[in-house]
Amino acid sequence: MFALYFCAPFREQLLEHYANNKADAEENLLTCLADLFSQISSQKKKTGVIAPKRFVQRLKKQNELFRSYMHQDAHEFLNYLLNELVEILEKETQATKADNETSSSPEKIANVLKAPLANGVHKEPIVTWVHKIFQGILTNETRCLRCETVTARDETFLDLSLDIEQNSSITSCLKNFSSTETLHAEDKFFCDKCCSLQEAQKRMKIKKPPHILVIHLKRFKYMEQLGRYKKLSYRVVFPLELKLSNTVDEYVDIEYSLFAVVVHVGSGPNHGHYVSLVKSHNHWLFFDDESVEIIEESAVQTFFGSSQEYSSNTDHGYILLYESLGTR
C-alpha cells in the first residue's frame, strides 16, 4: 500500500476522484482507500502513525481471503484492489451514463437501445483512470508453420507475472516471457486459413506498454515433489532504469524508472512479512510497518535475492513498480 501511495499518478487520480464524488458516494473500498490516502497526505507531523483501520475493516467485510491472518499474498492483494477499484469506477460511469441517456431525446434512447441489437457489436469497454495508469496490451502472435499466416490476439494486463531463474535479471525474464514457443503434437494450433490443426510458433509481445509497469516475480512456486509451495530466493537483478525491448515495435526502446519495490521477508510462503522500498523526492525510503528510514540508493541491490539457496538474507524483491519515462 505504501507502494501505491507513492505512485504519484495513482494517488493524485484517487484523491481527485474522491474530491469530485465525495458528496454522493457510498462507503466502498475506493472511498476508504482515498480517505486513508488523504489522511496521510494532510499529515503535518513528521512522525506518527495512521492505522488503516477503516480500510482494513472494509477489506475484511468484502473478501473472505483477507479476513484471516493467513498468508496474504501482496500480489493477490494488489490485483484484488485494482480490479475492485475498476469495478467501482465502471459502475459509477454506467450510472452517470444512464442518467444522461434518460434525460436525452426519446429518439436517442431508441438508437441506443437498437444499436447493440442491430449489428451485434459489444459496447465499448469503459476506460477508467486505473486502466489509464496500469493497463497495457499484450499481443499473442501465432504463426502457422504451414501457410506462414500470423494471427494476433490482444489481451490487456494490469501487471506482468514473470517466471524467474537463478542469477538472472528482469531483462532476461522479460526475454523469456516473450520467447518463441512451438506448438506441436497435442498442442497444435487451428489455422483458419489451412482450416486444420497445424504446427505453429507462438510468442507474446508488449503492444502497448503501460504508464506504470507492475512486475510480479513468481517467487512462490508449487513443487509437485513436496506437494506445497516453496519460496524461490533466486537472485534476480532489477535495474533502476529499465529498457523494455520485448515490444511489438522493436526499434523503439521504452524506458522506465523504478520507484517502488515490495519486498517479501522470510524463507517460506506461509510465514513472512512485507516491507517496501519507495522512491520519494529522489530519496529511497524503507518502510517496515510503522518505521520509515532513508536508505542509500545502492542499498536497493541488497533486495535482488540470494545467489545461493541457503542464505541468511531472506529479503527479496517481489513486486516492482516502474514509471514510464517515455520513448527514447
Binding site for Zn ion (CB under 5 A): 144, 146-147, 191, 193-194
- Tell me 250's DSSP state: T
Tell me the closest approach of the beta carbon of residue 245 to Zn ion, in angstroms.
29
Tell me the closest approach of the beta carbon of residue 304 to Zn ion, in angstroms.
44
Cell reading at 314: 531472506
Q: Which is nearer to Zn ion, 115 or 197 (CB)?
A: 197
Tell me the closest approach of the beta carbon of residue 179 to Zn ion, in angstroms.
22
Burial status of residue 212 (CB atoms within 10 A of its CB: 0-12, 13-18, 19 or more):
buried
Tell me the closest approach of the beta carbon of residue 200 to Zn ion, in angstroms.
8
Q: Which is nearer to Zn ion, 187 or 249 (CB)?
A: 187
Tell me the closest approach of the beta carbon of residue 248 to Zn ion, in angstroms.
21
Pairing of strands 181-183, 283-288: unpaired
Whether residue 20 contacts residue 31, with contact meaning beta carbons closer than 8 Å, is answered with no
Find where cell 545461493 sits. Answer: 308
Tell me the closest approach of the beta carbon of residue 188 to Zn ion, in angstroms.
11
Q: Which is nearer to Zn ion, 50 or 197 (CB)?
A: 197
Find where cell 498468508 sits. Answer: 71
Q: What is the H or E stretch that residue 279 is in? A: strand 273-280
Q: Which is nearer to Zn ion, 191 or 263 (CB)?
A: 191
Q: Which is nearer to Zn ion, 50 or 152 (CB)?
A: 152
Find where cell 522512491 sits. Answer: 279
Cell reading at 256: 522506465
Q: Which is nearer to Zn ion, 147 or 152 (CB)?
A: 147
Tell me the closest approach of the beta carbon of residue 202 to Zn ion, in angstroms.
13
What distance in Å separates the CA atoms of residue 22 and residue 5, rounded to the nearest whole number?
Answer: 19
- Tell me 247's DSSP state: B
Burial status of residue 24 (CB atoms within 10 A of its CB: 0-12, 13-18, 19 or more):
exposed
Output b/e per residue, 154-177; b: 16+ Cβ within 10 A: eeebbbbebebeeebbbbebbeeb
Q: Which is nearer to Zn ion, 75 or 143 (CB)?
A: 143
